[in-house]
Amino acid sequence: MRVINSTFYGLSDKIELDDVVDKNLISLMTKSPINPEDFYLTGYETISFKRTREFALETVISSVVPFDKDLLIVANNNDDLHIQKLCNMYGVSSTIVNLPQSEDELEAILSTYTQTRQYSHILISDDVNSQRCLATINAIASILIESSIKLIVQCRRQPMDLNIVRELNIAYMVCNGMQGSISSVVLARRSQLVQTEGISRSYTQDLYSYWQKMLSGRKAGIKPMAV
Quick one: pLDDT at residue 161? 87
13 lies in some domain: no
Mean pLDDT of 200-223: 81
What are 123-161's pLDDT values in tens digits? 999 888 888 888 888 988 988 888 889 999 999 888 888
Given a cut of 50, whether residue 7 has pLDDT beyond it is no
58 pLDDT band, cuts 50/70/90, is very high
Segment among 15-19, 27-31, 48-52, 151-155 with least mean pLDDT: 15-19
Q: Looking at the domain assignment, is residue 95 inside a domain?
A: yes
Annotate 50-70 with b (16+ C-beta within 10 A) or e (fewer).
bbbbbbbbbbbbbbbbeeebb
pLDDT at position 17, please? 55
Residues with Cβ within 8 Å of 26's Cβ and at least 6 positions away in sequence, in order, are 34, 36, 39
Q: Is 48 inside any structural domain?
A: yes
User: Does 134 fall in a domain?
Assistant: yes
Which domain does 33 fall in, by range? 23-216
Total residue count of the chain as it appears in this document = 227
| pLDDT for the residue 31 | 64
Percent of the chain with pLDDT over 70: 78
* CATH code where residue 197 lies: 3.40.640.10
Of 34-43, 61-70, 82-91, the range with the lowest mean pLDDT is: 34-43
Residue 55 or 26, more confident: 55
Q: How many domains does the chain have?
A: 1
For residue 5, being part of any structural domain is answered with no
| Highest-pLDDT range among 87-101, 184-198, 213-227 | 184-198
pLDDT at position 32:
64
Q: Mean pLDDT score of the chain, rounded to an integer?
A: 81
Is residue 102 a part of any domain in this protein? yes
**pLDDT at residue 176, as a whole number:** 87
- Does position 18 have pLDDT exceeding 50, yes or no? yes
Answer whether residue 121 is part of any domain. Answer: yes
Residue 224 lies in a domain: no
**Predicted local confidence at residue 226, as pLDDT:** 43
